[in-house]
Chain A
Amino acid sequence: MTDPTRLDPMVSRREFVAGVSALGAVWLMACSREQAAVAESASMPSMPAESSAPPQTLVHFSSEQGVEIEAMASRIIPSDDGPGAREAGALYFIDRTLTSLAKDQVPLFAQGLEALSTAVVKRHGAGQRFSTLTAEQQDAALKTIEQTPFFGAMRFATIAGFLALPKYGGNKDYIGWKYIGQEHTFEQKPPFGWYDLPANQQALLGRVL
């Protein structure tokens, strides 16, 4: 695959659903030992319980890099009509996966950040960083790298950091789940949506419930 981070999403999901981790295979070509470690550390109780405290420190990025990564993530999933990547702590997810599941992407992120920083200085002048630009300027800067593997990896990791289980470092207090409509619960009571409301089932199918 020429570009491991820009997947055909429909193909990917079909593959997952077929039971699969095709996406994993390309996203995180990583090392079995780390994966085993993740699996091992997963023996925490699965029923609703207080999750471990969300991370507040970086283990891979420097604090300067962290500021830039968070600024990028905040444009990918902005905090507009509800919490975004910043509130979900997607930065900490990205930071942690680069030391484990996505270890092989360390050079991609390092080079991507470097190239972005150079481009920002060239366009906006010395002393400017991506994080110091206005939102409009940031979006314009991201537009220019939209098709790069680095942006693809950033986008993927930001979404995953918004929605993966909090134990991976992001989705703080299930904030991403709450926004999208995914509940953190082991029990749901019907009716679930509009179509299975008894009155609508009756109207649509002519059956009395």
Chain B
Amino acid sequence: MRRQEQPTGKTFATNAEVDFVVIGSGIAGGSVARELTAKGFDVLVLEQGRHVPPSDMEHDEIGAFISNRWTNTPEQSPQMYRKTADAKAEQRHFLQYARVVGGTTLHFTGNFWRFRPIDFNEFSQRGAVPGTAVADWPITYEELEPYYTAVEYAMGISGETPTDPREPMRSKPFPLPPLNVTGPGVLLEVGAKKLGWNSKAAPMAILSREYKGRQPCHNCGFCLAFPCEWGAKSGSNWTMIPDALRSGRCEVRSESYVHRIETDDTGRVTGVLYFDKDKKEQRQKAKAVVLSANGAETPRLLLMSTSNRFPDGLANSSGLVGKHLMFNGNVVADGLFEHAVHGHKGPVVTRITQEHYIPDPSLNFFGGGGIDMRFDVPAMIKTLSMPTDGPEWGAAWKARAREWFTHSASAYGHTTTLPVATNSVTLDPELKDAWGMPAIRTTYKEHEHDMRLFKFFQDRCKELLSAAGAKKVYASPFGDAPGSAVHLLGTARMGNDPKASVADKYHRAHDVKNLFIVDGSSFVTSGRGQPTMTIQALAFRAADHIAQFATRLEI
């Protein structure tokens, strides 16, 4: 069996001033590192989490779903949560993100949807929404399109040229054909056809063919929440990071937890302070810093990096660092089918429908979304989370569990949520993490538009399952602040007005010339369900501009 080998990179001395320190090795940080090294710059990537070698990539449901094997843990990184600013905060593991080299793309599903033009200018098209900070992005789909294409070819995205005329322009076809359709994918197509909805092969960051020396998907089925031992799922750990290391100009320093970005009297960044794997503090000097730590850790680090010059946190003259926290709505309905689906084999998602990408404005909610059909989790979690309308133990449960495992599929609605100023990441005044640094305190409550949107999408999910022939359809509860949240967006939004945004359209912090902020926190609005592709396209675009600034000595 041929396996991917991880290249080694170079090593920088801490007292050497590197061109760029990139904080975070997820899809944003990894992409920035790949692109900047390709343009000849030295890049040091500092990653909180550990490197995960292929030998560590097990089909371990306990690790993936219970003991936080890949993610931030409540023990090391406790968090506080409150619904509103006047509520008492409680300790709760609310914001979830992987804490490993590769970031959350180590174990993601691989949904790789582009945004459409409306996702950048819905404010202009629809108008303001009371109680929100809905705004246009400072860039357009057309500006980002070349980077979407570059990303598709760098990653080897699988997909098919859309037939839906509502889809936007694409400058090149997908580099790889779609993934082989699975049972849930066929069911989506059957349901959509019956309802007269458009459906298509899902654009996925999973290889359908060998690509750039990486193996295609072998359909093992342990995908969502699991790392890919084949290297077929195109996480940053299998794509961007190895490319950056192969350049010979990159070091990825794992288990290096940056807790402060340092600045001098003139307000320029001089480097970072971090805890190494022994919790010993180290200082790394840098000419510029790119912050790609995710929608939770990016604002937290800025808020922790206070100084006389930046008393409210670095790059926070707008007061917006940490504000406008958004996720993507995630509504689910499950169906039990007559015949064996066996959706536990193959990729999680192979077909989607975006028929309701832009729902009728009379429905009175902002945004929209898309739906996939999937088999989401392996046997242990699947059977522990069965519908409760039958025996819960004994022989009858056992038979029911086997039927549920082999004959069910789930429709997932992925949607917009709105930017609300009071939804935020701040520093808890009391609680500290295992390194003695302030814990995250999240304040989050859905906007009424969000709840209407979720209801609409769940109804469509139920409709799709019924049309696909489900014998029974079950709807899961949604909203009212999810049990925990992923897709962490909007907490350092980009924009043209320094008073209304944290970074400019090139991701440069308005307040700090040699600090760039590139990740989900850059989002102005949440889009419609799948942010990773756009995070990565933003990172490619940012790196392009950052390299030009550096070449022109404008950093």
Residue contact B66 to A182, C-beta cutoff 8 Å: no
Residue contact A21 to B380, C-beta cutoff 8 Å: no
Residue contact A35 to B73, C-beta cutoff 8 Å: yes
Shortest distance from the beta carbon of B250 to any chain A beta carbon, whole Å: 25
Choose the segment among A5-13, A56-64, A108-116, A118-126 that binds chain B (4+ C-beta atoms closer than 8 Å): A5-13
Q: Which of A9, A21, A35 has the most CB of B within 10 A?
A: A21
Contact of B388 among A9, A75, A186 (CB under 8 A): A9
Q: Which of A43, A180, A183 has the most CB of B within 10 A?
A: A180
List A contacts of B484 (CB < 8 A): 15, 18-22
List A contacts of B230 (CB < 8 A): 186
A180–B402 Cα distance when bound, in Å, is: 5
List A contacts of B59 (CB < 8 A): 46, 165, 184
Shortest distance from the beta carbon of B484 to any chain A beta carbon, whole Å: 4
Residue B76 at the A interface, CB < 8 A?
Answer: yes
Shortest distance from the beta carbon of A174 to any chain B beta carbon, whole Å: 10
Residue B225 at the A interface, CB < 8 A?
Answer: yes
A195–B335 Cα distance when bound, in Å, is: 14
Which residues in chain B, 55-109, are within 8 Å of chain A measured between CB atoms? Answer: 55-63, 65-69, 71, 73-76, 93, 96-97, 104
A39–B384 Cα distance when bound, in Å, is: 23
List B contacts of A183 (CB < 8 A): 221, 345
Shortest distance from the beta carbon of B144 to any chain A beta carbon, whole Å: 25
Residue contact B394 to A21, C-beta cutoff 8 Å: no
Residue A69 at the B interface, CB < 8 A?
Answer: no
Shortest distance from the beta carbon of A22 to any chain B beta carbon, whole Å: 4
Residue contact A190 to B346, C-beta cutoff 8 Å: yes
Residue-wise, chain A 189-208 has the 8 Å CB interface mask toward B (1 for contact) of 11011111000110011000
Residue contact A201 to B181, C-beta cutoff 8 Å: yes
Interface residues of chain B: helix, strand, loop or mixed (majority): loop
Residue B512 at the A interface, CB < 8 A?
Answer: no
Residue B162 at the A interface, CB < 8 A?
Answer: no
A164–B63 Cα distance when bound, in Å, is: 10
Contact of B67 among A18, A21, A176, A188 (CB under 8 A): A21
List A contacts of B388 (CB < 8 A): 9-10
Using known A-B contacts A78-B394, A188-B219, A201-B181, determine if residue A13 contacts B387 with beta carbons closer than 8 Å: no
Choose the segment among B26-34, B470-478, B513-521 that binds chain A (4+ C-beta atoms closer than 8 Å): B470-478
Contact of A182 among B53, B74, B75, B344 (CB under 8 A): B344
Residue A106 at the B interface, CB < 8 A?
Answer: no
Q: Which of B97, B345, B346 has the most CB of A within 10 A?
A: B345
Residue A47 at the B interface, CB < 8 A?
Answer: yes
Shortest distance from the beta carbon of A92 to any chain B beta carbon, whole Å: 14
Residue B385 at the A interface, CB < 8 A?
Answer: yes
List B contacts of A23 (CB < 8 A): 65-66, 381, 384
List A contacts of B343 (CB < 8 A): 192-193
Residue contact B220 to A188, C-beta cutoff 8 Å: yes
Residue contact B346 to A14, C-beta cutoff 8 Å: no
Number of interface residues of A (CB under 8 A): 74
Residue contact B219 to A189, C-beta cutoff 8 Å: yes
Residue contact A17 to B376, C-beta cutoff 8 Å: yes
Residue contact A21 to B93, C-beta cutoff 8 Å: yes
Shortest distance from the beta carbon of B488 to any chain A beta carbon, whole Å: 10
Residue contact B384 to A160, C-beta cutoff 8 Å: yes
Using known A-B contacts A20-B96, A80-B395, A155-B393, determine if residue A187 contacts B344 with beta carbons closer than 8 Å: no
List A contacts of B224 (CB < 8 A): 17
Interface contacts (Cβ under 8 Å), in number, total 263
Residue-wise, chain B 143-177 has the 8 Å CB interface mask toward A (1 for contact) of 00000000000000000000000000000000000
Contact of A21 among B68, B340, B341, B477 (CB under 8 A): B68
A62–B394 Cα distance when bound, in Å, is: 25
Residue A150 at the B interface, CB < 8 A?
Answer: no
Residue A53 at the B interface, CB < 8 A?
Answer: no
Which residues in chain B, 342-401, are within 8 Å of chain A measured between CB atoms? Answer: 342-346, 376-388, 392-395, 397-399, 401
List A contacts of B220 (CB < 8 A): 185-188
Residue contact B380 to A164, C-beta cutoff 8 Å: yes
Residue contact A11 to B483, C-beta cutoff 8 Å: yes
Residue contact B344 to A181, C-beta cutoff 8 Å: yes
Residue contact A15 to B483, C-beta cutoff 8 Å: yes
Using known A-B contacts A11-B476, A163-B383, determine if residue A32 contacts B76 with beta carbons closer than 8 Å: yes
Residue contact B406 to A181, C-beta cutoff 8 Å: yes
Shortest distance from the beta carbon of A117 to any chain B beta carbon, whole Å: 20
Residue A38 at the B interface, CB < 8 A?
Answer: yes
Residue contact B398 to A77, C-beta cutoff 8 Å: yes
Residue contact A163 to B379, C-beta cutoff 8 Å: yes
List B contacts of A101 (CB < 8 A): 62, 66-67
Shortest distance from the beta carbon of B163 to any chain A beta carbon, whole Å: 14
Residue A67 at the B interface, CB < 8 A?
Answer: no
Using known A-B contacts A21-B66, A46-B55, A101-B66, determine if residue A194 contacts B401 with beta carbons closer than 8 Å: no
Residue contact A163 to B380, C-beta cutoff 8 Å: yes
Contact of B65 among A16, A46, A80 (CB under 8 A): A16
Sample (11) of A-B pairs whose CB atoms are under 8 Å apart:
A14-B477, A18-B485, A22-B93, A84-B398, A159-B383, A163-B383, A164-B380, A187-B219, A187-B220, A195-B183, A204-B190
Interface residues of A (CB under 8 A from B): 8-25, 27-28, 31-32, 35, 38-39, 42-47, 75-78, 80-81, 84, 101, 139, 142, 146, 155-156, 159-160, 163-165, 167-168, 176-177, 179-190, 192-196, 200-201, 204-205
What 5 pairs between A and B have smallest CB-CB spacing? A32-B75, A13-B385, A193-B342, A24-B66, A194-B339
Interface residues of B (CB under 8 A from A): 1, 53-63, 65-69, 71, 73-76, 93, 96-97, 104, 180-183, 185-187, 189-190, 193, 218-221, 224-225, 229-230, 330, 332, 334, 337, 339-346, 376-388, 392-395, 397-399, 401-402, 405-406, 412, 434, 474, 476-478, 482-486
- Known pairs A15-B482, A180-B405, A190-B346 / 12 extra A-B pairs, C-beta < 8 Å: A10-B477, A13-B332, A13-B476, A19-B71, A22-B93, A38-B69, A46-B54, A165-B61, A165-B62, A186-B229, A194-B342, A205-B193
